[in-house]
Amino acid sequence: MDTDVAVIGGGPVGLTLANLLGRRGASVLVLEKQPEPYPMPRAIHFDGEVMRVFQAAGVAQAVLPHTHVGKGMLFQNGAGETLVDWSRAQEIGPMGWYESYRFFQPGLEAALRDALVDYPNVRLVTGAEVIRLSQSGDAVTLTLGSGTQHRARFAIGADGTGSVTRQALGIALEDLGFQERWLVVDLRLTRPRDDLGDYSIQFCDPEAPGTYVRGVGNWRRWELRLSDGDPDPMPEEMIWQRLRRWITPRDAVLERGAIYTFRSRIAEHWEQGRILLAGDAAHQMPPFMGQGMCAGIRDAANLWWKLLAVLRGADQALLGTYGPERAANVRAFIEKSVALGRLINQTAAGLIPQGQMRSIWPDLGPGLGPRDGIGGSLAPQVLTPNGKADDAAGHRFYALGAGAAAGTLPKFDGAEDWLAEHACKGAIIRPDGYALGPASDPELVTLAEQLNQHLA
Ligand SMILES: Cc1cc2nc3c(=O)[nH]c(=O)nc-3n(C[C@H](O)[C@H](O)[C@H](O)COP(=O)(O)OP(=O)(O)OC[C@H]3O[C@@H](n4cnc5c(N)ncnc54)[C@H](O)[C@@H]3O)c2cc1C
């Protein structure tokens, strides 16, 4: 067999998965159709859970220079009054990282690509478009546009919205009902505009709904909802015209004005035999929470250790838990993003209670372990005498809090509030930071110990 895992698509999700697997010795082939990286940002925000995944991928320090800590988001009405305040803490939060980061996507992708160079077991091939996939009992065969074929034990379709992988598998997308055209404008300030502020602003103005985002360095973004008659592409003068209440060419250069159709969709299933979907190939959401890429990075976090365990002898049925676990979690983000979109459009004012808004941390759907208690909820990452808990545990299963039956699992104290919230004295934490279940359950402890052997 040529390769353990072929990753179709070298976007942020494919590259993160390749790092997570490559770091643990799996052989990985990333096939990316574009010859060169895309030089403009799309995503601009990620959260502390995603930084925790970058930590697991060994790239957090390389990613940090391309970020700055996010202050949060304000939803304002046409009169400039704040309807909803979604401020984020300015100190390290429960994930062991800040709650919110703004980032420069080309910088993040360069960091992810550069890190792969350290792994002789990982190969990134650019200018390689996958046009066909087939699978037999023990392998997936991928055919490139050039006619070259590659074989791998598993293939992950991280090939974005128009996923060839998803189409080849005949997997339909469930439409969750949101579809709007928006203009996305990226500018670089040529002189200081401190008055624009560090918060993202959602302009909940039925006349002109829009978003302002403070990017990293001197990057600034506006996203404006379009009407049916607006031209695509939009001429530069027209873009400046739409931005004139905030900024003019005296203060910034226009780097990009692109029109996107924001949608809310989720794949009806995420796996077929040895081929699985991840990232935008499996789900899409409007960017009002800045969570589309985050959801894809969570897919990678859920998948790497399951793939590794199966490659090293665990039952392949483990991979069947991936889609159902992730689908429920991502659905919660899609629904919230759509609800926020409606608020911004003011088509359903009152849908979200006015006042303070908090980040959501949805549970995993049904999958590995029980779901009638702490199982499936996202655990905080505590600080241990040997550093952050996930690192100290070697990114394998560990016990948090008191655990009568925690067996040979590494054990750490802390997270009392989270444990008390779930009426639990101790929990087993999976390599992706979610709880497997209570540490007092001997069967779960045995399961975690067995999986740890595959992850050693
Ligand atoms: C305007 C806008 C703002 C956004 N803001 C945010 C934000 O702030 N935060 C956030 O979390 N998300 C945000 N998102 C969403 C985010 O950009 C996507 O969710 C994310 O890029 C998905 O990553 P991915 O790796 O799954 O797919 P992609 O980034 O689409 O990467 C897929 C890769 O696969 C390659 N590919 C495709 N087909 C093939 C093939 N057949 N063979 C080989 N390679 C192939 C492509 O060239 C591409 O490089 C935003 C999106 C938009 C449009």
Ligand 1 binding pocket includes 293 (Cβ within 6 Å): yes
Pocket test for ligand 1, best of 161, 280, 288, 360 (most atoms within 8 A of CB): 280
In this structure, the number of other CB atoms found within 10 A of the CB of residue 229 comes to: 5
Closest CA to 259 of 156, 166, 183, 185: 183
The secondary element (H helix, E strand) that includes residue 46 is strand 45-47
Output Rg (C-alpha) for the chain, integer angstroms. 22
The pLDDT of residue 443: 96
Q: Is the CB of 73 under 6 A from ligand 1?
A: no
Distance 403 CA to ligand 1 centre (A): 41
For residue 111, give every residue at least 6 positions away whose Cβ sits within 8 Å of its Cβ, in sequence order, or none.
Answer: 59, 62, 63, 66
Amino acid 350: pLDDT: 56
Q: What is the pLDDT of residue 112?
A: 98
397 C-alpha to ligand 1 centroid (Å) = 30
| Distance, CA of 121 to CA of 23 (rounded, Å) | 9
CB 20 within 8 A of CB 56: yes
Burial of 324 (0-12, 13-18, 19+ CB in 10 A): middle
Give the integer Cα–Cα distance in Å for 12 and 105.
Answer: 8
Q: Which helix (H) or strand (E) holds 183?
A: strand 173-189
Q: Is 244 in contact with 125 (CB distance < 8 Å)?
A: no
Residue 160 Cα to ligand 1 middle (Å) = 5
**Cα–Cα distance measured from residue 128 to residue 144, given in angstroms and rounded to the nearest whole number:** 6
Whole-number Å distance between alpha carbons of 54 and 63: 8
Sign of CA dihedral 80, 81, 84, 85: positive
Between CA 12 and CA 334 the distance in angstroms is: 19
Please determine, looking at this structure, whether the domain spanning 3-68+101-174+267-332 carries the CATH number 3.50.50.60: yes
At residue 234, the 3 state secondary structure works out as coil
Does ligand 1 have an atom closer than 6 angstroms to the CB of 9? yes
Q: Are strands 252-267 and 283-284 parallel, antiparallel or unpaired?
A: antiparallel
Cβ–Cβ under 8 Å, residues 284 and 269: no
Q: Which of 85, 43, 90 is nearest to 69 (CA)?
A: 90
Give distance in angstroms: CA of 372 to centre of ligand 1: 34
Indicate whether residue 12 lines ligand 1 (CB < 6 A).
yes
The token duo for 93 is 């939060």
33 lines ligand 1 (CB under 6 A): yes
**Phi and psi, residue 434, nearest 5°:** -90, 155
Q: What is the pLDDT of residue 78?
A: 81
Alpha carbon of 392 to those of 21, 30, 417, 418: distances in Å?
A: 19, 29, 21, 20
Give the mean pLDDT per block of 10 residues along the chain (456 residues).
Answer: 92 98 98 93 95 98 97 89 92 97 97 97 98 95 97 98 97 96 97 96 88 96 95 96 97 96 97 97 96 98 98 97 98 95 71 77 98 97 97 97 86 96 97 97 96 95
- Which residue ranges make up each domain of the chain? 3-68+101-174+267-332, 383-455
Q: What are the structure tokens assigned to 28, written together?
A: 């990985």
User: How many Å apart are CA 250 and CA 253, to the nearest integer?
Assistant: 8
